[in-house]
Each structure stands twice: as C-alpha cells, then as structure tokens.
Chains A and B, each alone.
Chain A
Amino acid sequence: MNTTPDLMHTSSTLTFADHWDHFLARWGYRRGNHRVTPGLYTIGNPTPESPVLVTANYSLSFDAVRSSLPGADGYILVLDTLGVNVWCAAGKGTFGTDEIVRRVEATRLSEVVSHRTLILPQLGAPGVVAHEVKQRTGFKVEYGPVRAADLPEYLKTHQATPEMRQVRFPLRDRLVLIPVELVQLARPTTLAALALAVLLGPLAALGTAAAVLAGSALFPILLPWLPTEEFSSKGFILGGAVAAPFAWLAHKQVAGSKGQRIGWPLAYLLALPPVTAFLALNFTGSTPFTSKTGVKREMFRYIRVMAGMFGAGVLLALMLRLTGKSDKASKR
C-alpha cells in the first residue's frame, strides 16, 4: 500500500516537444489527444505552505500555467477534463465540482499541503460551485485571474484586478484559431471548388474558395472592425465585399446575351455572401463574448435569409448555364 501521496514533477520550461505539440493542437491534429496525466504536480521546491493551482489536462492549458511560473514553488492539480481546455470543460461540467472533489481525494492533497485553499482559473467558474467544494473537501476555492500570465502578480497579493478578471479577444488570440478553421474546411471546399470548376468554370471555383477563406480566415482577423454587431450581418458585409470583384469579372467575362451579362454577376452576389456569413455565424462559438440568447436570435433572423440567397444564386447560375448553352447552340 502507498504510504506517501503520489507526486509528479514538472518545470516552468517548455521544451521543443511542447511547442511542437502546441503547433499540432493548433492545426487540429488529433484534437482529443493533447493530454496531460491528471494528478498532483510539484513545480520548483514547494513546502506544505505553497499554493495549489488547479487546471485542465489539455496540454496547452497545463503548459500555460507552468510556463507562467518560472522560479515559483507550488503545486499544480490537474483535473481530468478529457483533454479539453478550462473554459470549454467548465461549460460541459467536466471541469467541475465533482471532478475537483474526486481529484483532491485521489491525490490526498490534504496530506500534502497544510493550508486549505485551491486557486482555480476564473474561467473554470461556469462548472464549479465554490461553496460546495468547500463543504465537500474542506478546501476553500479562490478564483485566480483569467489568464495564466497574470498568475505571478496574483500570487503576490491574492487579489485580481478588474483587468485580470476580464476576458479579451485580441488579434493574437483570434489568429491562432484560424488554422483549425482552415483544416476543417479544406476538404469540403476543395471538393466544391473542383465540382464548380468542371460545371461552371474557374471563376466560380475561385469565388467559392474566396468566400470560404473570407469567412474562416479574414473574418476572425477583421472581427472588431467590421461594422454592425451581429456576426451574420458582419459576414454579409465581408462576403459582399469579397463577392463584388468576382461579380465584376463575371460581367466582363461573359459574352452572351444581356440576360447573361446581368445574370451571372447577380448569381455571384446572391450565392457567395451567404457562404461567408454562415461561416461568420459559426465563429460565434470561438469568441469569449457571445450569449446563447444572442446567437439564437441571430440564427432565427439570418439562417433563412442565408439559405434563400444561396439557393436562389445556385439556381440562377444553373439556369444561366443551361440557357447560355442554348444561346451558343442557336448562334451556330
């Protein structure tokens, strides 16, 4: 039988292997497999009085915590969140009261430390009932800052400033999300573009690829600068701007009847913007500020418009394609 509680050791230094793991995670490679073994870790040379920081077993979460603590002595209690980050896991309840209680008991934390305080990441709060943790384990929950980078400052005073408590979504945080979006869309977009290239020509294929890229890469970058508040209308604006040059090119390129010269640009302006807008709407879940009520309202308002415009655009393109052929045939 084990007489001393099991402790694992970690350091604040990230190795090349860690950075490589982060890179793969960002590109969505085996997304569920960037995991750390749950349990109690020491960092530096902690004493029984040293603080206990709680985090998720997603490697990016764990590494964010430890790399923010160079020179510090303490404990990191890693919960089993199935390899999911703190906030998502809290929303799901896997970063939650029950798992904290289970992990505190399994690691025999009360035998390792003399104090009775757990420092949780603030973004874990949607899954945790602090007063229940206290009741069930004797450990008082203290909510630390949102960002691990603020931990050293927080550990000095155990007071988080309003700035530390506020989530932000700066350009850097938006940029790192783009690779996963691109990876997820690469296959369907390539297939659609190939089919369109055969059916309608290269311009239609390029236009579609541009609309998808606008929704998945340009949109996260431009998010705060696009006018209007709703994601869908922002997406329509961006999608319209991206579709416009293709509509113009279509107008220039098409030689046929007047109907063809007006019809094709119209088909581009109808079919492409909803693609961008739909991807923009789907980005709501990646941001730290959209609410369930707001997204529901937005979906109710815009999804039918998107489907209608897209359907009309595709239908129009098919009709133009068929009549365009008969135009040519009659000329012969």
Chain B
Amino acid sequence: MASIIETTTCGCAPAAQVGFVALSQRNTLEFNAEACINCGMCSAVCPQGVFAPGVRGTRRVQIVRADACMECGACQLNCPTGALKVDSGVGCAAAMINAALRWLKEPSCGGPEPTCGNSEPAVCCG
C-alpha cells in the first residue's frame, strides 16, 4: 500500500500523485479515473452514496456526493484496480483525544475496551 501523502492546504494533490485527483475539500478521497474499470464495487460498499455506477457505455464510475465521504476506507480496500485512495480512520473526537492522551499513533474504536462511542450494531466510531 502506498504511503499516505499529505495533500496541501489548497486540497490539490502533489505532483507525485499523477492520475489521482482530490474530489472534495472536505475529505481526503482521491480518484484515479484512468484506473477505474466501472466494476461497481465502490458504489456497493460506500455507506454514504458517494459513487453511482457509470452510465452505460462509459468506463468510469460517477462521483455524485464527494463531500459526504466519511473516510471509512471501504472503497479503497475493495477497489480491485487501486483507483481510489483515502486517508481512512475514525471520525471520533473521543478516540482522538484518548489516543493523544496515551501517546498512541492511530486512534481506533471498538475492541474489548471500547475507547469511544457505543456498541451500536450499525453505528459507532465512524
């Protein structure tokens, strides 16, 4: 997996990221349209409806709600051609504060001793 490269403050991708284009100022989702084969996997896994299957005859998925991306990382993991990239993690202030207090690198939730949120079957430290 390629290391996560910081996007600059303007939200644009550095020169090294040829092919990848940031989709929204509000999150770290990036898309490489050249690599997309319109398999539909991203639109199947995205819980926020960011993607919609491409129009018939086209080769690319449609990006319909880029701002709604919650950076769960499902699309990047399940994209068979590596056309999507996102700096995924938990959008959970409690977990981040907890991690900062304990000098942890990466905040996370759940586990035998949940650090944040609730054990709701569908809803947790998104």
Same complex for A and B? Answer: yes
Chain A contact residues, CB within 8 Å of chain B: 25, 31-32, 34, 58, 60-61, 64, 81-92, 94, 122-123, 125-131, 143, 146-147, 160, 162, 165-167, 169, 173, 176-177, 180-181, 231, 281-282, 284-296, 298-299
Chain B contact residues, CB within 8 Å of chain A: 26-28, 41, 43-49, 52, 68-74, 77-78, 80, 87-97, 108-114, 116-126
Assess A286 versus B122: contact at CB under 8 Å? Given A89-B110, A291-B69: no
**Closest residue on chain B to residue A25 by CB atoms:** B119
- Residues of B near A87 (CB, < 8 A) are 121-124, 126
A-B contact pairs, 29 of them (CB 8 A): A32-B114, A84-B112, A87-B123, A87-B124, A88-B109, A88-B125, A91-B126, A92-B108, A92-B111, A125-B72, A126-B45, A126-B73, A131-B80, A143-B44, A146-B122, A162-B52, A176-B120, A282-B93, A285-B90, A288-B47, A288-B122, A289-B126, A291-B27, A291-B91, A293-B87, A294-B26, A295-B93, A295-B96, A296-B96
Q: Cβ of B93 and Cβ of A85 under 8 Å apart?
A: no
Q: Cβ of B126 and Cβ of A86 under 8 Å apart?
A: no
Min distance, Cβ B1 to any Cβ of chain A, angstroms? 11
Q: Cβ of B48 and Cβ of A166 under 8 Å apart?
A: yes
Q: Cβ of B119 and Cβ of A126 under 8 Å apart?
A: no
Contact of B94 among A64, A88, A130, A285 (CB under 8 A): A285
Determine the distance from Cα of A89 to Cα of B91 in the docked complex, in whole angstroms. 15
Min distance, Cβ B24 to any Cβ of chain A, angstroms? 9
**Closest residue on chain B to residue A129 by CB atoms:** B77
Q: Cβ of A85 and Cβ of B120 under 8 Å apart?
A: yes
Contact of B74 among A61, A125, A296 (CB under 8 A): A125
**Closest residue on chain A to residue B109 by CB atoms:** A88
Assess A288 versus B41: contact at CB under 8 Å? Given A126-B73, A281-B93: no
> Chain A interface mostly helix, strand, loop or mixed?
helix
Determine the distance from Cα of A287 to Cα of B111 in the docked complex, in whole angstroms. 18
- Residues of B near A282 (CB, < 8 A) are 93-94, 97, 116
Determine the distance from Cα of A146 to Cα of B72 in the docked complex, in whole angstroms. 14
Min distance, Cβ A33 to any Cβ of chain B, angstroms? 9
With A282-B97, A293-B91, A295-B96 already in contact, 16 other A-B pairs whose C-beta atoms are closer than 8 Å? A34-B119, A84-B114, A85-B120, A88-B119, A94-B110, A122-B44, A129-B78, A147-B122, A167-B47, A285-B93, A286-B92, A286-B117, A291-B70, A292-B71, A294-B26, A298-B93
**Closest residue on chain B to residue A134 by CB atoms:** B80
Determine the distance from Cα of A25 to Cα of B124 in the docked complex, in whole angstroms. 14
Q: Cβ of A91 and Cβ of B28 under 8 Å apart?
A: no
Min distance, Cβ B9 to any Cβ of chain A, angstroms? 12
Contact of B110 among A88, A125, A129, A181 (CB under 8 A): A88
